[in-house]
Chains A and B, each alone.
Chain A
Amino acid sequence: MSLIEIKKLSKTYESGEERVPALVDVDLNIDRGDFISVMGPSGSGKSTLLTILGGLNHPTEGEVVVDEIPIYQLPMEKLADFRREYLGFIFQSFQLIPYLNVIENVMLPLSITEKSNREQLIMAGEILERMGLKGKGKRLPDQLSGGEQERLAIARALVNSPPILLADEPTGNLDSKTGKEIMELFKSLNEEGQTIVMVTHNPENVAYSSRTIQLRDGKLVKTT
């Protein structure tokens, strides 16, 4: 049984009387430990696929089953709990909380768990060290470099040890050198067993993944 099963997934956006198909009949299985790159031109449905996988966007048709849970049959608040337990999200443009310092940003997903402050600090400290951000815990996000902010975003996504990491253009705002460092990090996480689904424009990033899917006009056209 695959970790993620996507069956006949379609998403149509309605704008007034206009209906725009973002995804059309997508079937996809993702196993534990997979590192999937999702590629395609602008408007191909990459981000839509990621948001649907992330439990943030109800499909018009089809089903998404994660770890045998049909996530879109869950009530709204249970879907929020699912996101907390199963997913680590790395957003485009980092999306860090500007008034929380580094360690507070990392602990954000833990703030709604039952873990004590002490446990949270230990978990956050470990992941920050892993991400090379040890000693920068008291800094605010705008006091970090682009690469450091990306690492912080990854740390926040991983602090709860989620089974699935979803990344939307993780190197989009970074220079090539820093971008390579981030992709190396992803590779090493995947080698440890982390399942990763990454949306990217950058063909160089594809080399780090185990499988690539191509979308065009909302349809899955190629899997390599």
Chain B
Amino acid sequence: MKLKDISINNLRRRKSKVLFLILGLTIGMTTVVTLISITRMMNEDISNKLDEFGANILVIPRSKDLSLSYGGLNIGGVSIDTQTLEDSDIPKIRQIEVRENINTVSPKLLGVVEIEGKKILLTGVLFQEEVRLKKWWKVHGAIPKSRDEVLLGNEVAVKLFKNTGDHLAINGKTVRISGILDETGSQDDFLIFSDLGFVQEALKKPGALSLIEVSAFCISCPIEEIVSQISKALPHAKVTAIKQTLQTKMEALDHFKKFSVGISIIVLLIGGLIVFTNMMASVNERKREIGIFRAIGFRKSHIIRIIFLEAIIVGFIGGMAGYLLGLGVSQLLGPILTGTRGGNISIDPFLAVGVIFLSVTMGILSSIYPAIHASKMDPTTALRSL
């Protein structure tokens, strides 16, 4: 018989007490696994949703001069010697190596037109792509469905005293206002949006583009790689990541991660406290037995090893149970919290090993004081009969 047999036999024959001990660790580990798994799901979900929310890459024609722009829009007539983008550039973006990371490609042609004596910026877009890019748009009326319909920014509608259903003349062509945007607080409030083909005709710039806004998924691929590949595909263009969008996204994810870590630490501390109090109670209950061990020649180190071995076994079982329970709980809660469909349960060996290691460590740390306390017990006091 070795010391480990004393530990194992004690745990085997005191099942109800051991179960309570394991429960504390299991609850802690279940919470940690659930939070980590749900955080991962939410990270992915939030990241993808943020990636879909607006552009994070801007493609504009390469120019020798600094262009005057707002939100990446080059106001015509300021820069000279500017290269142009064309319709044929759009499929090149969709054919880069990491094309699965490209979500939306929204080309635009901008030009100044005069309507009822007022100079207004006309923007030609592919409405299907533009609406996917700008999920925050709220439209009174409808998105244009044909080339003779336009969408007005809020400020433009006010400036021109126009409502949905009214008509406008753009460079000699009459168009119907199918909808007016709710105020966005961006440059969109000052634009008239029309079909790209119609604007290319109206401005006499067939196939030309002013810029292309791209939204890419960057959770699995760094944004710099996507920018680099688009740059290679379009050497005549300047391709940049929109840092502000990225930074906002990263900050949101960062806050969420910190929150999860904070909750996990609190729960772990509570779990550790449960183990500590249970171990202390267990050691106090075993005073007599520890007195016997000491009386027959066990050293303090032997007593400490017995207690630690029990903590390791309990920690291992608590970790395993916590990991499996945590997986189950996160599969139940995850879809509810993220609004996504739950996937198949996948075993992450690194997380499993990490959780078991954490549980065993917690068991040992929580047992340090009880073990030292046990080893210092005076055998005669402990045995009482002597």
Binding site for B on A (CB under 8 A): 47, 50-51, 54, 56-57, 76-77, 80-85, 87, 89, 91-93, 95, 97-100, 104, 107-112, 117, 120, 156, 168
- List B residues 1-47 near A (Cβ within 8 Å): 1-3, 5-6, 9-10, 12-14
| Complex A-B: 7 CB contacts under 8 Å | A85-B297, A89-B295, A92-B385, A98-B13, A99-B14, A109-B297, A112-B3
- Residues A111 and B380 in contact, CB atoms below 8 Å apart: no
Q: Which of B13, B301, B386 has the most CB of A within 10 A?
A: B386
Residues of A within 8 A of B293 (CB): 108
Give the shortest distance, in Å, between A14 (CB) and chain B (any CB): 14
- Residues B385 and A93 in contact, CB atoms below 8 Å apart: yes
- Residues B288 and A95 in contact, CB atoms below 8 Å apart: yes
Instruction: Known pairs A56-B379, A112-B297, A112-B299; list 19 more (Cβ under 8 Å).
Output: A56-B380, A57-B380, A80-B300, A81-B297, A83-B296, A89-B296, A97-B289, A97-B292, A99-B10, A99-B12, A100-B9, A107-B1, A108-B6, A108-B293, A108-B296, A109-B297, A111-B1, A112-B3, A156-B296
Residues of B within 8 A of A117 (CB): 1-2
Which of A77, A91, A104 sits near B5, CB closer than 8 Å?
A104
- The answer for the CA separation of A50 and B379 in the assembled complex, in Å, is 13
Give the shortest distance, in Å, between B42 (CB) and chain A (any CB): 46
Which of A57, A77, A98, A109 sits near B296, CB closer than 8 Å?
A109
Binding site for A on B (CB under 8 A): 1-3, 5-6, 9-10, 12-14, 288-289, 291-302, 379-380, 383, 385-386
Residue of A nearest to B6 (CB): A111
Residues of B within 8 A of A108 (CB): 1, 6, 293, 296
- Residues A81 and B299 in contact, CB atoms below 8 Å apart: yes
- The answer for the CA separation of A109 and B295 in the assembled complex, in Å, is 10
Residue of A nearest to B300 (CB): A77
Given A85-B297, A111-B1, CB of A91 within 8 Å of CB of B385:
yes
Residues of B within 8 A of A57 (CB): 380, 386
- Residues B385 and A104 in contact, CB atoms below 8 Å apart: no
Ranked nearest first, the 3 interchain pairs of A and B with the lowest CB-CB distance are A84-B297, A99-B13, A83-B297
Give the shortest distance, in Å, between A112 (CB) and chain B (any CB): 5
Give the shortest distance, in Å, between B85 (CB) and chain A (any CB): 80
- Residues A91 and B297 in contact, CB atoms below 8 Å apart: no
Which of A50, A80, A107 sits near B294, CB closer than 8 Å?
A80
Residue of A nearest to B14 (CB): A99
Residue of A nearest to B297 (CB): A84
Residues of A within 8 A of B296 (CB): 83-84, 89, 108-109, 156
- The binding surface of chain A is classed by DSSP as helix
Residues of B within 8 A of A56 (CB): 294-295, 379-380, 386
Residues of B within 8 A of A89 (CB): 295-296
Residue of A nearest to B294 (CB): A80
Residues of B within 8 A of A93 (CB): 385
Give the shortest distance, in Å, between A26 (CB) and chain B (any CB): 17
- Residues A111 and B2 in contact, CB atoms below 8 Å apart: yes
- The answer for the CA separation of A85 and B298 in the assembled complex, in Å, is 11
- Residues A168 and B385 in contact, CB atoms below 8 Å apart: yes
- The answer for the CA separation of A54 and B380 in the assembled complex, in Å, is 10
- Residues A111 and B10 in contact, CB atoms below 8 Å apart: no
- Residues A80 and B298 in contact, CB atoms below 8 Å apart: yes
Residues of A within 8 A of B297 (CB): 80-85, 87, 109, 112
Given A80-B297, A97-B289, A112-B302, CB of A50 within 8 Å of CB of B1:
no
Residue of B nearest to A100 (CB): B9
Given A91-B386, A92-B385, A168-B385, CB of A54 within 8 Å of CB of B3:
no
Residues of A within 8 A of B14 (CB): 99
- The answer for the CA separation of A11 and B302 in the assembled complex, in Å, is 29
- Residues B295 and A91 in contact, CB atoms below 8 Å apart: yes
- Residues B386 and A99 in contact, CB atoms below 8 Å apart: no
Residues of A within 8 A of B379 (CB): 56
Give the shortest distance, in Å, between B302 (CB) and chain A (any CB): 5
Give the shortest distance, in Å, between A124 (CB) and chain B (any CB): 9
Residues of A within 8 A of B289 (CB): 97
- Residues A95 and B385 in contact, CB atoms below 8 Å apart: yes
Residue of A nearest to B296 (CB): A109
Give the shortest distance, in Å, between B203 (CB) and chain A (any CB): 90
Which of A80, A84, A95, A120 sits near B292, CB closer than 8 Å?
A95
Residues of A within 8 A of B301 (CB): 77
- The answer for the CA separation of A168 and B297 in the assembled complex, in Å, is 17
- The answer for the CA separation of A81 and B289 in the assembled complex, in Å, is 18
- The answer for the CA separation of A168 and B295 in the assembled complex, in Å, is 13
- Residues A76 and B300 in contact, CB atoms below 8 Å apart: yes
- The answer for the CA separation of A87 and B298 in the assembled complex, in Å, is 12
Residue of B nearest to A106 (CB): B1
- The answer for the CA separation of A101 and B187 in the assembled complex, in Å, is 84
Which of A47, A84, A85 sits near B386, CB closer than 8 Å?
A47
- The answer for the CA separation of A98 and B13 in the assembled complex, in Å, is 9
Residues of A within 8 A of B292 (CB): 91, 95, 97
Residues of A within 8 A of B380 (CB): 51, 56-57
- The answer for the CA separation of A110 and B6 in the assembled complex, in Å, is 12
